[in-house]
Amino acid sequence: MPNLAPSDTAPPTLTHCPYCALQCGMGLAVDGGRVEVVERADFPVNRGALCGKGRTAPALLDRAARLTEPLVRDPETGELAPASWDEALGVIAGRLQGTRDEHGADAVAVFGGGGLTNEKAYALGKFARVVLGTSQIDYNGRFCMSSAAAAGRKAFGVDRGLPFPLEDIPRTGCVILVGSNLAETMPPALRYFTELRENGGTLIVIDPRRTKTAEQADLHLAPRPGTDLALALGMLHLVVTQGRTDEAFIAERTTGWEGARPAVMAHWPELVERITGVPVPQLRRAVEMFCAPENAMVLTARGPEQQAKGTDTVGAWINLCLATGRAGRPLSGYGCLTGQGNGQGGREHGQKADQLPGYRDLADPAARAHVAEVWGVAPESLPRPGRSAYELLDALGGDIKSLILMASNPVVSAPRAAHIEERLRSLDFLAVADVVLSETAALADVVLPVTQWAEETGTLTNLEGRVLLRRRAVTAPSGVRSDLDVLSELAARLGVEKGFPTDPEEVFEELRRASAGGAADYSGITYRRLVEEDGVFWPCPENGETGTVDPMDGAVPGGGTAPKSTKAPDGAAPGPAKTPGAQHPGTPRLFLDRFATPDGRARFAAVTHRPAAEETDAEYPVVLTTGRVLAQYQSGAQTRRVPELNAAAPGPFVQLHPRLADRIGVGEGDPVAVVSRRGRAVAPARITTGIRADTVFMPFHWAGEGRANTLTNPALDPTSRMPEFKVCAVRLEPAAHRADEVNSAPA
């Protein structure tokens, strides 16, 4: 078990779950030498509810489940062997410096993770640009909601997963949930949709599978994977032809409708039915349900976003909200359900290839000047934007010779994973900092054991834009250090002895200054406030002031509105009113007065449907889509080490329709091979009528022969650079065929 906090009699530590972007509140108590989860009913997001992953999270604190000493690969045996911290850090610093000297700064790359705290994400981005001088930095959050982020910035001028708190969902009239299985991915959030229906609202779920979430819906639409864009355009076509557009809202608060309208009118219902497989009567019913109440929302997740046209697809759903006036007012709007624990904050503060802290654009001279001043460097010394996540991984072993990787497992999580594994193996040098020996860490030349959620204090930003303080509850095992310690020590060994503190609050104070005036302004947030409050919503400028908006009109950066009283629509409680010079209350609800664009208007996206990057054909006649299951999380590197979770979800599977199973001759539980142009994976068949007959589903949590991402297509969205995880062409066959090629990748 972990080394415990000083007293077994101390009251529970109030903290947050280490997994998804809900960041559910929980307490951790030490009882008889064990760390136990205690219900924390006062936290507004989950109100005490936790899924199985949250309840079992302390299992990862056990020494037997995690790394507790550095490992260095022995040049003679080729095996990883225990080493001292001094030796391990010395090897890393020496190899990184050698690569820079021989090949230049951009021959060294950095890859981060959406589970890093805001402080660690900030320090990692600063380390890459100030210490290494490399442009080659990105993170696995690029694979999460980058398409929604790009569409949100285009339409609204700023990206925040939800521009309103979760508590608003039960008070709206209708929610369209696109490509999300909340019942398994974020179970505590499902209560908001249950309450929505109890209050008389309706829920429409769009998913090619009849998931546990879809079973809760008033209407389930099951489009062919990759056709969500056509579906959104078809629904908006019906809105227009039925005279349901909000012409006053379009005129007063938007631009670009005339450019977007022609594509909408070209997607008439019968055409959309042929593309998507969704019958016209269902389309009409969905439009009626969405438009009938005064307020409505559209929420998207990975289904429509993880496509090579994900930005346009999300843009089309935003268009539906704008054309009907369902944005920029209470209890209506578009939102994205962020997945990773700090997927929101992780991209706001500098570990993304094209961004600086505060959600600033790395190519913007003013942004570069501001951050450079905070960092004490010359603006011209900062590198320019580098490669996106998949492009960076694909370049490993080419012009990128060395990589330092934190909190990510691309051997399992990246598309075309067998190829990415080969690229990782081709590096001159790989260093990994992680809690466990993941499949990626096992390939490294040096592995550093670092602290995890309950062993460290730091901030995270949940899917609502609520900045939270996750507190340390136990002491890490001896031999384990924090990522901040690692970056500070490496910076010193590489010649930068100042500017990389190891105290997270000190790092956060610098982050506040770096973010000040940016779209994601944290300057008014302090650790003290986060201890006293249930989180603070950004933007939150210091002293309630902003340099871009008249502080007397109630507006705040990002186009939000500070509440004028403690009572929000239908009883929601957003906090105290803002007055000039007073402590800013944070911004629970964005866009109520204006959008965050230069003219304050939202922008329609002129988008049209196009096929998936890889269509089915005679050789590969079936569509594969991927996703998650309840008991596992992301690449499974952590959850696969928890016995209770493994008992519930012991391995991968292939979900397919009975007609498809009959056609290839497999029964329930039989091993079935799924083959794409990139490789072959094998897993047991799960036969159900709850999936389209032209589609198969695989969860992506496992390595080995059942690795779903061996098959997936790395085709990239031209704007977000999101890979097309959710759509690729495959064929199925009994696993006895060509079994020697299991999990292989073509040359």
* pLDDT, mean over the chain: 92
**Residue 562 clears pLDDT 60, i.e. is over it:** no
Domain carrying residue 486? 71-142+342-452+480-504
Band (4; pLDDT cuts 50, 70, 90): very low
Question: DSSP letter at 707?
Answer: -
Q: Is 326 helix (H, G, I), strand (E, B) or coil?
A: coil
What is the arithmetic mean of pLDDT over 11-28? 94
Looking at the fold, whether 17 and 159 belong to one and the same domain comes out as no
Q: What is the pLDDT of residues 222-278, one digit of tens each?
A: 999 999 999 999 999 999 999 999 999 999 999 999 999 999 999 999 999 999 999
Please state, for a pLDDT cut of 90, what percent of the chain lies above it: 89
For residues 111 and 138, is the Cβ–Cβ distance under 8 A?
Answer: yes
Question: Could you tell me if residue 168 is inside a domain?
Answer: yes
CATH number at residue 197: 3.40.228.10
Mean local confidence (pLDDT), 489-503: 97
Task: Note the pLDDT of residue 324.
Answer: 98
Whether the predicted pLDDT of 116 surpasses 50: yes
627 and 687 fall within a common domain: yes
Residue 401 lies in a domain: yes
* CATH number of domain containing 695: 2.40.40.20
Residue type, 362: L
Q: Which of 335, 361, 378 is the last residue of a domain?
A: 335
pLDDT score of 718: 97
Amino acid at 227: T
Tell whether 239 and 310 lie within a shared domain: yes
- CA–CA separation, 346 and 115 (whole Å): 7
Stated pTM of the model:
0.92
Q: Which of 8-22, 522-536, 612-626, 694-708 has the lowest mean pLDDT?
A: 8-22
**Do 279 and 407 share a structural domain?**
no
Buried b (16+ CB within 10 A) or exposed e, 363-387: eeeebbebbbebbebeeeebbeebb
Rounded distance between C-alpha atoms, residue 31 and residue 53, angstroms: 20
Together in a domain, 270 and 374: no
185 and 203 housed in the same domain: yes
DSSP letters spanning 541-590: -GGG--SSS-GGGTEETTTEE--SSS--GGG----PPP-TTSPP---SS-
Whole-number Å distance between alpha carbons of 478 and 476: 6
Task: Look at residue 736 in the predicted model and tell me its pLDDT.
Answer: 76
Mean pLDDT, rounded, for 479-506: 98
Question: Which residue, among 454, 409, 483, 452, has the nearest Cα to 637 in the 3D structure?
Answer: 409
**Residue 544: predicted pLDDT:** 61
Compute CA distances 586 → 162, 387, 557, 561, whole Å.
14, 33, 10, 9
Coil vs helix vs strand at 682: strand
For residue 6, is it within any domain? no
The CATH number linked to 45 is 2.20.25.90
Residues 370 and 494 in one domain: yes
Look up residue 407 and give its DSSP letter: S
Which pLDDT band holds residue 5 (cuts at 50, 70, 90)?
A: very low
- The amino acid sitting at 531 is V
Give the CATH number of the domain where residue 387 resides.
Answer: 3.40.50.740
Return the pLDDT at 77. Answer: 95
What is the sign of the dihedral through the CA atoms of 529, 190, 311 and 637? Answer: positive
Range with the poorest average pLDDT among 346-360, 436-450, 556-570, 586-600: 556-570
Give the pLDDT confidence of 521-555 residue by residue, as tens digits: 999 999 999 999 989 999 999 976 443 332 223 33
Question: Are both 160 and 286 inside the same structural domain?
Answer: yes
Residue 468, pLDDT above cutoff 60: yes
Considering 308, 335, 362, which residue would you say is the last residue of a domain? Answer: 335
Q: Mean pLDDT across the stretch 287-314?
A: 97
Asked whether residue 465 is domain-assigned, the answer is no
Give the pLDDT score at 549.
Answer: 34
| Percent of residues, the chain, with pLDDT higher than 70 | 92
Model pLDDT, residue 9: 56
Do 332 and 591 meet the contact criterion of CB atoms below 8 Å apart? Answer: no
Residues forming beta bridges with residue 734, ordered by sequence position: 672
Contacts of 151 (CB under 8 A, 6+ apart): 310, 311, 312, 314, 315, 318, 605
Distance from C-alpha of 730 to C-alpha of 727, rounded to nearest angstrom: 10
Residues 192 and 312 in one domain: yes
Mapping DSSP to helix (H, G, I), strand (E, B) and coil, where does residue 36 land? strand
User: In this model, does residue 725 exceed pLDDT 90?
Assistant: yes
Residues 112 and 150 in one domain: no
Question: In this predicted structure, what is the pLDDT of residue 127?
Answer: 98
pLDDT of 30 reads 86
DSSP for 458-518, written as a single string: EEEE-TTSEEEEEPP-SBPPTT-B-HHHHHHHHHHHTT--SS--S-HHHHHHHHHHHHTTS
Q: Is the dihedral of CA 650, 656, 658, 663 positive or negative?
A: negative
User: What does the angle CA 414 – CA 418 – CA 421 come to, to the nearest 5 degrees?
Assistant: 75
Answer whether residue 123 is part of any domain.
yes
pLDDT at 8 over 70: no
Are 499 and 414 members of one domain? yes
Asked whether residue 535 is domain-assigned, the answer is no
Token code pair at residue 456: 């460290």
Would residue 532 count as lying in a domain?
no
| Tokens 């089915």 found at | 616
Domain end marker among 49, 65, 81: 65
Q: How many structural domains does the chain have?
A: 4
In a domain, 388, yes or no: yes
- Whether residue 328 sits in one domain with residue 198: yes
For residue 195, name the pLDDT band (cuts at 50, 70, 90).
very high
**pLDDT confidence bin for 34, thresholds 50/70/90:** confident
Tell me how far apart the alpha carbons of residues 602 and 249 are, in angstroms, rounded to a whole number.
10
